[in-house]
Amino acid sequence: MNRKKGMGMLKGSGWALLLMLMMMLSVGKMTASSEEEECENRWIHIRKLPSRFNLDLLANCSEYLMLDDLCPYLGNHGLGQKTHNRSRSWYRTDPSMLELVFHRRMLEYPCLTQDPMRAKAIYLPYYAGLDALRYLYGSESNFSALHGLHLFHFLQQDNPQIWARHMAHDHFLVMARPAWDFSQPLTNDPPFWGTSFLELPQFFNLTALTLEARAWPWQEHAVPYPTSFHPLNLGLLESWITRVRRSKRSILALFAGGGGGGGGGSSSPNIRRSIRSECENATSDPSYEKLCEIVDCSNGVCEHDPVRFMRPMLQASFCLQPPGDTPTRRSTFDSILAGCIPVFFEDLSAKSQYGWHLPENEFEDFSVSIPKEEVVFKGLRILNVLQRIPRSKVRSLRKRVLALIPNVLYRKHDSSPGLKAKKDAFDLAIDGTLDKIRSRVQELHSVI
Ligand SMILES: *[C@@H]1O[C@H](CO)[C@@H](O)[C@H](O)[C@H]1NC(C)=O
Ligand SMILES: *[C@@H]1O[C@H](CO)[C@@H](O)[C@H](O)[C@H]1NC(C)=O
Ligand SMILES: *[C@@H]1O[C@H](CO)[C@@H](O)[C@H](O)[C@H]1NC(C)=O
Ligand SMILES: *[C@@H]1O[C@H](CO)[C@@H](O)[C@H](O)[C@H]1NC(C)=O
Ligand SMILES: *[C@@H]1O[C@H](CO)[C@@H](O)[C@H](O)[C@H]1NC(C)=O
């Protein structure tokens, strides 16, 4: 039944048509001269790719093995369904849809050019993470070194001068998974996890926007996980920020997530286990109704249900962001949205990842850092550390967190001019990408 619904939603070329229409509307909005000024050094060309590289992957949304039906998450150009009918800004967003969300936003980027030779950057609207599913989970799992080669061959055959002009140093794409999922050495195949997209020499020069970068990234740069909040205008954003600012913080520390429980997993010490046991044994403090709370998100119950964790996050001063399967978490961005000060346990969780969105040299102004080794092996108590932070410092931390909200959210496509004037996660990703490409291309031609 779901399958039918999904296919119906994408029936025929409705999608392609809509995308094209949006593109035509957005080009030519500005007068020629102000456009020239604003867009100097910012022109981007969207490479035309056959539908097998994007729209067909959406049409197959119910066919991916070992995964839920992805079709419900495609709605609203990848934002997902609204959390409920009367909600205006809240969606059941799946972060793996960033490829689609980003593509939709690219179509309204003000400095698009049809002429690839004029462009400073070339965007490849290839849904790399969705295409990776058949290698990660599906029938191609023994051929994960092939991921991306079909794209490379296409780019070599169709107008190859576009790729060749700067040896692909000006090309970029979005890969809405951690880079780790695309970094398998070419000679490894099952039982090892991951495709080899980022290991292929053919792709060494392009820029990939991922949800998490490797410790020593070359091609990729991390961009924020999409949260569930996608306002359409400035009023909706401002009323949310007002609510966040006024919210009474009656809980000192909150952890929303899974893991660290008794059953199943290994019994080796880890940071999630430490959090759980400290939280369960927390005593009281006259300044807070509760010292510590855990929102149990095991088995993915929170993934598409933001109310479960946003309500408690609004009531907490600090939100604990321990590493899990990988160092980064979507929850970091949910907590910023809720004005809940993030607490990190290693630099790879955010500090060394999201430099375009969360300035690396300002981390101590909006977050708390507690090395996980101190907690797990030396008995440092997280709650004690947080209790000792003076009230005035907590206030200034929260003020900085609130100031970050507009920069980490992905606003809804076609939002109002007032909201467009603020840089959101997409805008900052584009700025960062253009800077990175500019220096790469300069370097390339200065060497020659
Ligand atoms: C979509 O699914 C069909 C049937 O499983 C498969 O044959 C086809 O190759 C898939 N298309 C893409 C673009 O993955
Ligand atoms: C939401 O709206 C749709 C269409 O307008 C309607 O079919 C559906 O029943 C509504 N759902 C709820 C929970 O009200
Ligand atoms: C992958 O290869 C292994 C070993 O050669 C084989 O047992 C397995 O069935 C293959 N998997 C697929 C999906 O073809
Ligand atoms: C990547 O760029 C280098 C120069 O920086 C060049 O030698 C190499 O051939 C390029 N690779 C591809 C696949 O274009
Ligand atoms: C804390 O609680 C856990 C049970 O959740 C218990 O096993 C542990 O011994 C307690 N630790 C301390 C330091 O009280």
Given the CA of residue 163, which atom of ligand 4 is nearest to it?
Answer: 14
Res 320: pLDDT: 98
Q: Which helix (H) or strand (E) holds 40?
A: none
- 212-226, 260-274, 338-352, 434-448: segment of lowest average pLDDT: 260-274
Report the SS3 class of residue 126. Answer: coil
C-alpha 85 – ligand 2 centre gap (Å): 6
- Nearest-CA residue for atom 13 of ligand 4: 202
- Mean pLDDT, the chain, whole residue set: 91
- Whether residue 4 is predicted with pLDDT greater than 60 in this model: the reply is no
C-alpha 312 – ligand 1 centre gap (Å): 41
Say if residues 318 and 368 touch (Cβ distance below 8 Å).
Answer: yes
Beta strands in 340-415 (DSSP E): 341-344, 368-369
Res 31: pLDDT: 62
> Using one digit for the tens of pLDDT, what is the confidence trace for 97-145?
999 999 999 999 999 999 999 999 999 999 999 999 999 988 888 899 9
Measured in whole angstroms, how far is the alpha carbon of residue 135 from the centre of its chain?
21
Res 294: pLDDT: 97
Tell me if the pTM is above 0.75.
yes
Question: Ligand 1 pocket, 63 CB below 6 A?
Answer: yes
Mean pLDDT of all residues in 154-161? 98
C-alpha 389 – ligand 2 centre gap (Å): 47
Listed by start position, the domains of the chain span 3-226+422-447, 243-408
Res 284: pLDDT: 85
- Whether residue 7 is predicted with pLDDT greater than 80 in this model: the reply is no
**Within 13 Å of residue 312, how many CA atoms lie on the same side as its CB?**
24
Pairing of strands 251-257, 220-222: unpaired
- Whether residue 423 is predicted with pLDDT greater than 50 in this model: the reply is yes
Mean pLDDT of all residues in 198-221? 96
Q: Is the dihedral of CA 298, 304, 310, 311 positive or negative?
A: negative
C-alpha 142 – ligand 1 centre gap (Å): 17
Measured in whole angstroms, how far is the alpha carbon of residue 256 from the centre of its chain?
18
Taking the C-alpha atoms of residue 356 and residue 360, their distance in angstroms, rounded to an integer, is 9
DSSP 352-403: TT-TTTS-GGGHHHH-EE--HHHHHTT---HHHHHHTS-HHHHHHHHHHHHH
Res 5: pLDDT: 37
DSSP assignment letter at 297: -
- 66-70, 363-367, 441-445: segment of lowest average pLDDT: 66-70
Taking the C-alpha atoms of residue 422 and residue 427, their distance in angstroms, rounded to an integer, is 9
Mean pLDDT of all residues in 66-85? 92
Res 261: pLDDT: 62
Ligand nearest to the CA of 55: 1
433 Cβ partners below 8 Å, 6+ apart?
121, 172, 207, 209, 221
Question: Ligand 5 pocket, 280 CB below 6 A?
Answer: yes
- Whether residue 428 is predicted with pLDDT greater than 70 in this model: the reply is yes
- Whether residue 2 is predicted with pLDDT greater than 70 in this model: the reply is no
- Nearest-CA residue for atom 3 of ligand 5: 277
> Using one digit for the tens of pLDDT, what is the confidence trace for 243-273?
999 999 999 999 999 876 654 445 678 999 9
The neighbour count for residue 148, using CB atoms within 10 Å, is 24
Mean pLDDT of all residues in 347-352? 97
> Using one digit for the tens of pLDDT, what is the confidence trace for 215-251?
998 899 999 999 999 999 999 999 999 999 999 999 9
C-alpha 277 – ligand 5 centre gap (Å): 5
- Nearest-CA residue for atom 5 of ligand 3: 142
Mean pLDDT of all residues in 389-414? 98
CA distances for 152 relative to 53, 115, 201, angstroms: 11, 21, 11
Report the SS3 class of residue 222. Answer: strand
Instruction: Write down the architecture of domain 243-408 according to CATH.
Output: 3-Layer(aba) Sandwich (3.40)
Mean pLDDT of all residues in 32-40? 81
Taking the C-alpha atoms of residue 271 and residue 251, their distance in angstroms, rounded to an integer, is 20
